[in-house]
Amino acid sequence: MAHLKKNRDLIKIFQKSLKKEIAELSNDILNTVWSNRIEQSNFESLGIKNGKQIIAEYLENREYGIAYEHLAYLITECEMELSVEQKNRMDKIAYKMNVKPIRLLTNEKGTDFLFGCRNLYLASIHPFDFDKRNLNEYKQIVELGKELLAQKGIQNFLGYLMESQYRVSVWASMIAIEYGKPKQDEILNLSGTKTIINSCLECIIQDEIEPLSAEMIANKENWVHKNVPQQRIKIIGQ
């Protein structure tokens, strides 16, 4: 009898871990960007609009396989691109449940953009440090951003505004305005109220953790006046 109790305890631990993994992955994938996109889309299915709630209910009822399948359904129906890390987590859960992993779109270049911004941050290369514009690392992140912008469209590309670390949102904002040429009154879907231009400018002129040099502050102001001439801003360094 002791070994039966031990087996039941192990099953409970396994199920609890699986429930946690699916819940965390769902929250990661079905984030604010996804929610705003769904609210403003033409999707009529309640299975999509209430997707997060449905998955939570399946998990609460210990229907982990159905919860996983519904998450995969949302991803495929909404044509969402996963990061490599998210795809690996989906596959790991599938293997744990002994089901065949579902083929999903991945965006390796999107992940490369995040890592590129991180590497530039650690190398002290700032988007508005124009003295470093000729460095290969600087050129590469701009070219990668332009490629993603063309591939994803400006609205999806600006999902990077949600990334507060490593100046990801600053790089994305600069690239979107300079190369995406947003319309003056185009609303950012992620915000629902602010224009793309104003949302990007907020990221660009926000306070920096580290004080900027007078030269970089001037670079920011000159860049804004050149690329968004209708805006008149004064950037104050910390």
Helices 84-96 & 108-122 angle (0-180, nearest 10): 120
8 Å CB contact between 74 and 51 = yes
Which residues are bridge partners to 82 per DSSP? 106
Report the pLDDT value the prediction gives residue 39, as an integer from 0 to 100: 67
Tokens of 54: 């449905």
Dist CA 230 CA 224 (whole Å) = 9
Dist CA 97 CA 45 (whole Å) = 27
At 18, is the pLDDT very low, low, confident or very high (cuts 50, 70, 90)?
A: confident
* Residue percentage of the chain with pLDDT more than 70: 82
At 191, is the pLDDT very low, low, confident or very high (cuts 50, 70, 90)?
A: confident
pTM above 0.85, yes or no: no
Residues 6 or more apart whose Cβ sits within 8 Å of residue 135: 125
Please report which residue ranges of 78-186 form alpha helices under DSSP H: 84-96, 108-122, 136-152, 154-157, 168-180
175 or 30: whose pLDDT is higher?
Answer: 175
Sequence spans of domains, the chain: 2-96, 117-227
Average pLDDT over residues 101-122: 78
Helices 64-77 & 84-96 angle (0-180, nearest 10): 150
Model confidence at 40: pLDDT above 80: no
Dist CA 235 CA 231 (whole Å) = 12
Model confidence at 134: pLDDT above 60: yes
Tens digits of per-residue pLDDT, 219-233? 998 999 898 876 644
Tens digits of per-residue pLDDT, 158-180? 888 888 788 999 999 999 999 99
Tokens of 153: 């469209």
Model confidence at 237: pLDDT above 70: no
Report the pLDDT value the prediction gives residue 179, as an integer from 0 to 100: 94
Model confidence at 66: pLDDT above 80: yes
Distance of CA 188 to the CA centre of its chain: 15
